[in-house]
Structure formats: C-alpha cells, structure tokens
C-alpha cells in the first residue's frame, strides 16, 4: 500500500524556499504516515533497535517521523521523508526488541529516539505499558520536544502514570522568532513546550523530568538565552536547577541540514570546547 503524503508536507529547511508550518498539522500528517492500526492496536514505523552510549548506555528504538524540522537536527533523513523509511512494529514488539538490546549490552534503560515519540499517542502509551511490566528494563527516558503534550494536560497525566518513565523536555529556542528560524514552525507554536513544562510542574512531577536547552551560543544570542531562562523562571524558579545545555554537533545529517538552511557555524570554536 502506498502512503499518501500531502504536497505541503515539510521536509528539511531550505534557505529562501521554506514555508513555515503548523507543527500540529505536521503531527497529524506524520502520524498518518508512520502509524497504522492493526486489529485495533496502533503500530508505528521504526528503522532500527540499537545500543547507544548516551545515559551511560541505553537501549534505543529509532522511530520514524517528527513534527519539527530543526536545522541542527542529527536524526536520519527518515525525519524528512518518513514515507520512505522504516517497518511497522506493534507496541509489544517494540518493548521486546528494546529488552533484547538491553540484555545484550547489560543496559537497564530504554528510549525511543531519532524522531518525536509522542506522535502516535496510542502506540506510545501501549509501549510504556509493556515497558512497565518488563522485568529487565528499569527506566524509560521519554525524550520529547514538548509540542503535543503542551496541547493536552491529559497526555502528561497519562505518561506520568508509568512509574518507570522519566521525561526529558527539549527546548529549541527562547523567543517565537528564533523558534521559527531554527525549527521552521510557526511562531504561535513556540509556547507549547513551555506549556508542557508548566503541566509537569503543576502535576508535582519533580524528579520525573528535566529540561534540555539547545543553547549553543553560535545559534542562541545572550538576549535569547536570558528570555528563555526568564520564561522558565516565571513558571517555577526551581526549573533553573534542572537545565541540561546542548550544543550542535557535526553529524553528517546536521551538516547537510545546516547547509540547506544556509546556516554557517564556526567549527573551530566547537573543537575548542572539547579539546
Ligand atoms: S532535533 Fe528533535 S525535535 Fe528537532 S527535528 Fe530533530 S528530532 Fe525533531
């Protein structure tokens, strides 16, 4: 069966040719592309299951598809062309494969990566149900850009029902303009990840989440950084103690996306940070 993709479906950002998009619409389109129902159960496309070195070792499932188009993204091109990549897996198969990889490497943690795991809510919640019952996996790290949970507090509550889940909410920008520049999404969507953080705070989920910020000084000015920190402070000052800061790394896919977006970064500066 061929997968229908709307002609306006956004791919990677191309300088001078890119039209900003509504990430909610892109979430729906992406869900239609990467998910399908089989006997009433939602399956999702994945490209691989592997052991990754981050978090001191974590079993990882590579999901297909995202609702943002960050120009610094390292994810494979399945992010941009989800119709071309991946195989559908049931939630049970996903958990079994995560556990298999975990056992192979002696990891007790698992995650979904390479795209946005909150697309396909029924699928994700079912995966989390299986993980909750899995003896081997002790911790599931849900890495999200916070777009979809910011639309619906119940999504946050549903995720928090699972005791093994810890959430990493990743912020891309500190102002609506910078958000549109870096992700290609409409500025109106800028608030959604902050709303997600607000929900976690209001649910009293301290210890169950933290905030990651793409605060690379090459793409975030001091003013933008201050604006972002002030926003977090206004939600709850304690959030400032939970921040993980990220920089842009030179993966092949990242270099390709930066080039297409017309963004030039000083890599000698990057090398100096790690030497
Ligand atoms: S960095 Fe994350 S949120 Fe941004 S496009 Fe890549 S996978 Fe999606």
Widest pairwise Cα distance in the chain:
54
User: What is the Å distance from ligand 1's center to 205 Cα?
Assistant: 24
182 in a structural domain: yes
Is residue 15 situated within a structural domain?
no
Structure confidence at residue 275 (pLDDT): 84
Per-residue confidence (pLDDT) for residue 31, from 0 to 100: 98
Q: Is the distance from CB of 128 to CB of 165 less than 8 angstroms?
A: yes
The count of structural domains within the chain is 1
Give residue-wise pLDDT tens across range 185-207.
999 999 999 999 999 999 999 99
**pLDDT attached to residue 3:** 84
Taking the CA atoms of residue 31, residue 10, residue 225 and residue 242 in that order, the dihedral angle to the nearest 10 degrees is: 20
81 belongs to a structural domain = yes
Any ligand 1 atom below 6 A from CB of 184? no
- Listing DSSP states for the chain in one string gives -PPP--TT---S--TTT---B-HHHHHHHHHHHHEEEETTEEEEEEEEEEEESGGGSEEEEEE---S---TT--S-GGGT-GGGS-EEE-HHHHHHHHHHHHHHHT--EEEEESS-TTSSHHHHHHHHHHHHH-SS--EEEEEE-STTGGG-HHHHHHHHTSTTEEEEEEE--SSHHHHHHHH-B-GGGGGHHHHHHHHHHHTT-TTSEEEEEE--TTTS-HHHHHHHHHHHHHH-GGGGGGEEEE-----HHHHHHHHHHT----HHHHHHHH-
Dist. CA 144 → ligand 1 center (Å) = 9
Show the domain range for 148.
36-274
Distance CA 108, CA 263 (A): 38
Mutation test residue for ligand 1: of 64, 69, 145, 181, the one with most atoms within 8 Å of CB? 145
Domain-embedded: residue 51 = yes
Residue 1: the pLDDT is 63
**Does the residue 3 lie in any domain?**
no
Residues of the chain with pLDDT under 70: 1
Residue with CA closest to ligand 1 atom 7: 115
Are 141 and 55 in contact, with CB atoms under 8 Å apart?
yes
Please check whether residue 209 is in contact with residue 168, taking contact to mean a CB–CB distance below 8 angstroms: yes
Domain presence at residue 54:
yes
Residue 138 lies in a domain: yes
145 CB less than 6 Å from ligand 1?
A: yes
Ligand 1 centroid – CA 145 distance (Å): 7
- Measured in Å, residue 135 CA sits from the centre of ligand 1 at 30
Helix 121-133 and helix 153-160, axial crossing angle in degrees, nearest 10: 20
Asked whether residue 209 is assigned to any structural domain, the reply reads yes
What is residue 187's predicted lDDT score, i.e. its pLDDT? 98
Which distant-in-sequence residues (6+ apart) come within 8 Å of 2 by Cβ? Answer: none
Tokens read off for 149: 């949970």
The CATH number linked to 264 is: 3.20.20.70
């Amino acid at each position: 069966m061929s997968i229908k993709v709307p002609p306006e479906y956004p791919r990677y950002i191309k300088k001078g040719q890119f039209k900003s998009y509504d990430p909610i619409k892109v979430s729906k389109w992406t869900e239609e592309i990467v998910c399908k129902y089989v006997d009433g159960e939602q399956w999702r496309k994945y490209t691989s299951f592997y052991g990754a070195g981050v978090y001191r070792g974590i079993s990882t499932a590579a999901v297909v598809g995202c609702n943002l188009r960050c120009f610094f993204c390292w994810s494979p091109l399945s992010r941009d062309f989800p119709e071309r990549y991946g195989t559908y897996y049931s939630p049970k198969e996903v958990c079994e494969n995560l556990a298999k990889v975990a056992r192979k490497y002696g990891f007790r943690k698992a995650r979904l990566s390479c795209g946005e795991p909150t697309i396909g809510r029924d699928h994700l919640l079912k995966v989390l149900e299986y993980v909750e019952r899995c003896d081997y996996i002790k911790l599931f790290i849900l890495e999200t850009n916070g777009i979809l949970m910011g639309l619906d507090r119940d999504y946050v509550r549903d995720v928090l029902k699972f005791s093994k889940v810890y959430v990493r909410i990743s912020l891309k920008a500190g102002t609506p303009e910078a958000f549109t520049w870096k992700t290609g999404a409409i500025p109106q969507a800028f608030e959604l990840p902050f709303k997600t953080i607000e929900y976690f705070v209001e649910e009293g989920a301290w210890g169950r989440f933290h905030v990651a910020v793409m605060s690379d000084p090459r793409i975030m000015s001091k003013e933008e950084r201050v604006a972002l920190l002030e926003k977090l402070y206004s939600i709850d000052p304690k959030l400032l103690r939970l921040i993980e800061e990220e920089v842009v790394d030179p993966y092949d896919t990242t270099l390709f996306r930066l080039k297409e977006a017309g963004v030039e970064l000083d890599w000698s500066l990057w090398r100096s940070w790690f030497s």
